[in-house]
Structure 1
Amino acid sequence: MPALEFFKDREKGVLDPTLFERARKVAEELVGEGELRSSQFRNYFAELRALENRFERERQEDEALAFARLVPQLELLKAKLAYNTRAQGPLRNAKRFVAFLEEALDAGKRSPKDFEAMMKYVEAVLAYFYAKGQ
C-alpha cells in the first residue's frame, strides 16, 4: 500500500479532495470491526490535539525546532498504541484502528504541513465514526 498522501498540490497546500472520502471509508471499517469504543478514539485524539496545541505555541518561536520536538512525541504515541495491543490491552482486537493511526502518524511526521493535514484527516475519521453511531 502506498504511503498516505494528504495533498493534491503540496507546494500550495491544497488537500487531496479524496482524503475525506478515504476518512469516511476508514470510519466505516472501524465501526464494522466493532472493537473500538468512542472513548478510546477520543483519548488518542485528545492527545494529538494537545500535541498540536503545543506545536502551534512553539512554532511561533522556531517552526523547525518545534517540529523536531513534535516528531518524537508522535513516535511515543505509536509506542503507546503498540502497548495497548498487548494480550490484555484495550486495543488488542482493534487492529484496524491501530493500523489507521500508525499510518496517519507516520504521514504526519513528514513535515509541519503534513502534520496539519494529518490532524484534519484524523478529525474527519473521528467525525464519521461518531456519525455512524459509535
Structure 2
Amino acid sequence: MPVLEFYKDKEKGLLDPEIFARAKRVAEELVREGKLRSSQFRNYFAELRALENRFQKERKTDEATAFARLVPELELLKAKLAYNTRSQGPLKDARAFVNFMNEALDSGKRSPKDFEAMMKYVEAVLAYFYASGK
C-alpha cells in the first residue's frame, strides 16, 4: 500500500495542497462506491479524534513516549477495520473506505507531524464526503 506524503516541506510544517485535492477525489470515490454510511465514517473519525486528543495531552510531557503509545492504537484501529470487512461485517462492501483508512493510518504512524497531517487529511475527506450529499 503506498504511503502518503503530506508535506511540501516537513521541517517547516508546510502541507502539500495536493493532499486536499486528493481528499476530494477520495471522498468522490467513497460516494460513487455507495457502500459507506456517514455514521460509519463518523464513528472511525471520532475514534481517531479521541486518540488525537489523548496524544496532544500526553505529548506535553514526553512526545516520544506519547507517540510510541499512539502507534499501537492506530494498528488496533486497522485491526477493527479488518474485522468489520468480514462477510457479515458492516464494511464488507466498503473497500474504498477501508483502503483509504489503511493508507492514511499507515502514513500517520511515521511521525507525530505525519499523524497531525493525517488527521487534517481524514477530516478533509470527511468534509468532502458530507458535501457530496452523504
In which range does the TM-score fall when normalised by the shorter chain? over 0.9
Q: Where do 5+ consecutive residues of structure 1 fail to align? A: none
CA–CA separation in structure 1 for the residues paired with 2:117 and 2:3? 14
Cα-to-partner distance string for 1:28-62 (whole Å, 9 max, x where unaligned): 00000000000000000000000000000000110
CA–CA separation in structure 1 for the residues paired with 2:2 and 2:79? 22
The residue identity in structure 2 corresponding to 1:50 is A
CA shift, 1:3, in A, is 1.9
How many percent of aligned residue pairs carry the same amino acid?
79
Q: Where do 5+ consecutive residues of structure 2 fail to align? A: none
The residue identity in structure 1 corresponding to 2:92 is R
**Aligned positions of 1:1-134 closer than 5 A:** 2-134=2-134
Taking structure 1 as the reference length, the TM-score comes to 0.99
After superposition, the CA RMSD in angstroms is: 0.7
Cα-to-partner distance string for 1:69-90 (whole Å, 9 max, x where unaligned): 0000000000000000000000
Cα-to-partner distance string for 1:87-108 (whole Å, 9 max, x where unaligned): 0000000000000000000000
CA shift, 1:2, in A, is 4.0
**Structure 1: which 4+ aligned runs deviate by more than 4 Å?**
none
Aligned residues: 134
CA contact (8 A) 2:86 2:92 kept: yes
